[in-house]
Chain A
Amino acid sequence: MNHGIGIDITFLSLATLAVVTGWRVFRTDSMVRASFFLLVSFIAVGVIMILLAAEYLGVAMFFMMAVEMTVMALFMVMFMMNAAGLNPMNMVHQERIAIGAGIVGFLVLGAMALLAAFPDQPVSADLEPVRSLGNEMLGDSMLIFESAGIVLLTTMIGVVVLSSHRGRYGAAAVGSLPPGLEPGGDPAGKLEEDEEEESGGHQHHHHH
C-alpha cells in the first residue's frame, strides 16, 4: 500500500493518542473521565481503520463507542462513590501480577508482530470495502451475521432477566440490606418485621 508521509504522521499521532488515553483510563481519579479517555482511544483506533480503507468499520466504531461510553459514564455516576474524581483514587488489587501480565502480553504479541512473516497482500486499489462487506454479510456469511443478531437478542432477554426488579420467584432484592445512613448504623428504610420474617427461614410457605 503506497501512501505519503502525511498518513504516517497521522498514524503515529493517532497511535500515541490511543495508547496514552488507553493508559490514562486506569490512572485517572475520575471514573467519568476514565470512560471518556477510553472513548478517545476508541475514536483514534476508528480513524486508523478509516486510514486503512475500512471506512464502514471506522465510522461504526465512532457511533457504537460514543453511545457505549456515554452509557458507561452514566453507570459510573450511578454506582461509584467517587465518580467526579474529587478524591484521589486507586482501586486496584494484585497490581504487580496485573502489570506483569500486561507487559508479558505486550512482549509476546509484539514479538509475533516483529518476528513472524506475514504474507504481503495489500488491499487492491479497485476494491470497494463497504460494498464487499455488504455482499459478504448478506451473501456467503449471512448465517454468521444472522447468528450474531440472534445472540444479541438473547443478550437483551438475559439482560432484562438479570436486571429486572421482580422475577418469577419474588422480588430480586429479598435478603439484601440497604446501606446505613451513618457508618455502622441501621439499614435505611428497612422495617423491623422484615428481619423477623427472614429469620423464619425460606423453606416453608407462610399462610396468612
Chain B
Amino acid sequence: MTLTTLLLLAAALIGIGIYGALSQQSFVMLMMGLELILNGVMLAAVAFWAFSGAGAPEGQLLTIIVMAVMAIEMAMGFALVVAVFRGKQADMTESLTGLKH
C-alpha cells in the first residue's frame, strides 16, 4: 500500500465513473457514475493526506467537503428525477430535450 497504488486505484474508480456518467441513460445510473468519481476523489485526498501531507488536518477536511458535495449531488439528483418523472413520466436522459416546463 503505497501512494502510487492508492492513486492508481483512485484513477481506476474515476475512470469507471467517467464511463458510467457519460454512457448511462437512466438518471439514477448516471448519478452512480458521478458517485464513483467522487469516491475516487475522496480516496485520493485521503491517500495524499496519509502519505504526502504529513497528516495536515485540512486533508481530512477536504474529504468531509467532498462527502457534503456527494450528499448535495444525491439530493438534488433525486429531486430532479422526481420533477422530471412528474413532468415526462420517464427517467431517461433522452426524454429531456429542453429546459422548458
What residues of A have a CB within 8 angstroms of the CB of B53 in the complex? 121
User: Once the chains bind, are B46 and A156 in contact (CB under 8 Å)?
Assistant: no
Question: How many residues on chain A are close to B (CB under 8 Å)?
Answer: 90
What residues of A have a CB within 8 angstroms of the CB of B33 in the complex? 26
| B:16-59 near A, CB below 8 Å | 16-20, 22-26, 28-29, 31-33, 35-36, 39, 42-43, 46-55, 57-58
Q: Mark A29-62, 1 if CB is under 8 A from B, else 0.
A: 0010011001001100100110111101100110
What residues of B have a CB within 8 angstroms of the CB of A141 in the complex? 57-58, 61
User: Once the chains bind, are A124 and B54 in contact (CB under 8 Å)?
Assistant: yes
User: Once the chains bind, are A80 and B68 in contact (CB under 8 Å)?
Assistant: no
Alpha-carbon separation in the docked complex, A51 to B51 (Å)? 12
Q: Mark A105-117, 1 if CB is under 8 A from B, else 0.
A: 1100110111000
User: Once the chains bind, are A80 and B89 in contact (CB under 8 Å)?
Assistant: no
Alpha-carbon separation in the docked complex, A118 to B6 (Å)? 13
Q: Name which residue of chain A comes closest to B4, CB basis.
A: A113
What residues of A have a CB within 8 angstroms of the CB of B75 in the complex? 155-156, 159
What residues of B have a CB within 8 angstroms of the CB of A7 in the complex? 1
User: Once the chains bind, are A80 and B57 in contact (CB under 8 Å)?
Assistant: no
User: Once the chains bind, are A177 and B89 in contact (CB under 8 Å)?
Assistant: yes
User: Once the chains bind, are A155 and B15 in contact (CB under 8 Å)?
Assistant: no
22 A–B contacts, CB within 8 A, in A order: A7-B1, A26-B29, A34-B32, A41-B36, A52-B46, A52-B49, A54-B60, A91-B26, A92-B23, A93-B94, A102-B17, A102-B19, A112-B7, A113-B11, A118-B52, A119-B52, A144-B65, A151-B72, A158-B79, A162-B79, A163-B78, A172-B87
Given A133-B57, A172-B83, A176-B89, A76:B52 Cβ within 8 A: no
* Inter-chain pairs besides A98-B22, A123-B55, A135-B57, 15 sampled, C-beta below 8 Å: A11-B1, A15-B9, A19-B13, A26-B32, A48-B9, A57-B60, A57-B64, A80-B91, A93-B25, A105-B15, A119-B52, A133-B61, A151-B72, A155-B75, A162-B80
Cross-chain pair count, CB within 8 angstroms: 261
Determine the main DSSP class of B at the interface with A. Answer: helix
What residues of A have a CB within 8 angstroms of the CB of B78 in the complex? 71, 75, 159, 163
User: Once the chains bind, are A52 and B68 in contact (CB under 8 Å)?
Assistant: no
Interface: B71 (CB within 8 A):
yes
User: Once the chains bind, are A110 and B51 in contact (CB under 8 Å)?
Assistant: no
Given A3-B1, A54-B60, A162-B80, A122:B13 Cβ within 8 A: no
